[in-house]
């Protein structure tokens, strides 16, 4: 599977990329969940192991329990995989849509597997999976609706327990994704963000936090997903970090870094159009904010100097298109150009982001070549 592979089969677009022992697949924005899972399984053959699924589904009247059953019925017997659902208004460039990101492992070490089932696990879905040099923890939620702070505390305690079952630590995490239902304001996101930060020591992983306009199933307000790397014997990998001079910062102190290099892979946390004082640059201009976010990704990658890099994946979370964005010289064209790039790209439409007037946030994975 050299580079990125694009497959069009009439109902959904699938793109896949392999970097050493990691395989990432994206599908959508059309086709049933069963069709998209079958496409993914066509990539993960006998010499690979499917480890994690992230499912973007409509935030209008979507039954996650039914989706879970449908996905389970399509997976082979004896599968163990972590599962994350993200309710969004659109996937791709049009209203609605449905898509999946999948991550898996290939190579000699893929047979060395540790499983953490978790309290709410149901075959074939588990809380956490350690395979080869990677571990995957599906998004953890609280057991019942409460305040955002209370739910955050319960989710972090569940993550801590799963990490322990896998024999790894928060210091082994390379990427954290947090989705929450709240106003896209500092007053809403800052207190739970500080609570989460208390579980990490500096320098921490890269982090992307996305504000959603609707709650999760059962009225819950938050979920957190982790990706990490550790040697098969449990030895921590050395890590290096990137934070370019004058780069944007959060308005509160957090332990995360913009870029993290671990054993040949670079993870870049969600990049946005902010200045060093956390003020939005080019308010409301989706096209200009996309360009600046991509430039910020390039600056972070340049922080790992002296070595060439290959982009593996981009995930762009953007505010759903307006009539202005649809103009050929505005946001719609910028999104289409992004999607047409060499690397697999996930495009997720949102009703709002974490700052007023922010229109897009883009995270990335790259490889040292």
pLDDT digits (tens, 9 = 90+) for 298-341: 999 999 987 789 999 999 999 987 666 666 567 888 998 998 88
Predicted pLDDT of residue 1: 42
Predicted pLDDT of residue 11: 40
Q: Which two tokens stand for residue 56?
A: 């973007």
pLDDT tens figures, 215-247 = 999 999 999 999 999 999 999 999 999 999 999
CA triplet 60, 61, 66: central angle to 5 degrees? 130
CA triplet 84, 365, 309: central angle to 5 degrees? 165
Where are the domains positioned within the chain? 4-368
Q: What is the CATH number of domain 4-368?
A: 3.30.1330.40
Question: Hunting for tokens 């229109």 — which residue is that?
Answer: 359
Beta strands in the chain (DSSP E): 4-8, 13-19, 22-27, 48-58, 81-88, 90-91, 99-106, 113-116, 125-126, 128-131, 134-140, 173-181, 206-212, 222-229, 239-242, 259-262, 265-271, 309-319, 345-350, 360-368
Q: What gap in Å lies between CA 335 and CA 318, rounded to an integer?
A: 9
Low-confidence stretches of the chain (pLDDT beneath 50): 1-3, 5-11
| Entry pTM | 0.93
Percentage of the chain lying above the pLDDT 70 cut = 91
For residue 298, the SS3 value is helix
């Amino acid at each position: 599977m050299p580079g990125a592979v694009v497959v069009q089969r009439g109902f959904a677009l699938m793109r896949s990329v392999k970097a050493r022992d990691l395989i990432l697949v994206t599908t959508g924005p059309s086709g049933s969940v069963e069709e998209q899972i079958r496409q993914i399984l066509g990539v993960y053959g006998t010499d690979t192991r499917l480890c994690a699924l992230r499912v973007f589904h409509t935030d209008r009247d979507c039954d996650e329990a039914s989706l879970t059953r449908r996905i389970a019925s399509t997976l082979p017997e004896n599968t163990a995989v972590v599962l994350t659902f993200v309710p969004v208004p659109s996937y791709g460039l049009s209203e609605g849509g449905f898509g999946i990101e999948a991550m898996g492992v290939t190579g000699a070490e893929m047979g060395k597997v540790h499983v953490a089932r978790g309290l709410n696990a149901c075959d074939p879905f588990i809380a956490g999976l350690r395979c080869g040099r990677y571990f995957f923890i599906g998004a953890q939620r609280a057991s019942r609706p409460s305040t955002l702070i209370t739910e955050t505390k319960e989710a972090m305690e569940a993550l801590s327990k799963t990490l322990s079952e896998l024999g790894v630590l928060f210091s082994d995490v390379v990427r954290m994704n947090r989705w929450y239902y709240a106003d896209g304001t500092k007053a809403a996101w800052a207190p739970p963000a500080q609570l989460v930060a208390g579980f990490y020591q500096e320098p921490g992983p890269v982090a992307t936090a996305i504000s959603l306009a609707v709650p999760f199933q059962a009225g819950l307000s938050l979920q957190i997903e982790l990706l990490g790397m550790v040697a098969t014997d449990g030895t921590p990998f050395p890590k290096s970090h990137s934070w370019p001079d004058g780069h944007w910062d959060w308005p509160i102190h957090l332990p995360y870094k913009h870029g993290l290099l671990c054993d040949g892979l670079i993870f870049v946390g969600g990049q946005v159009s902010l200045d060093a004082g956390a003020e939005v640059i080019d308010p409301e201009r989706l096209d200009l904010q996309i360009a600046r976010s991509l430039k910020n990704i390039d600056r972070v990658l340049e922080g790992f100097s002296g070595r060439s890099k290959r982009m593996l994946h981009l995930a762009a979370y953007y505010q759903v298109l307006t009539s202005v964005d649809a103009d050929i010289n505005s946001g719609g064209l910028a999104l289409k150009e992004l999607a047409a790039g060499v690397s697999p790209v996930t495009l997720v439409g949102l009703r709002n982001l974490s700052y007023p007037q922010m229109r897009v946030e883009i995270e990335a994975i790259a490889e040292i070549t």
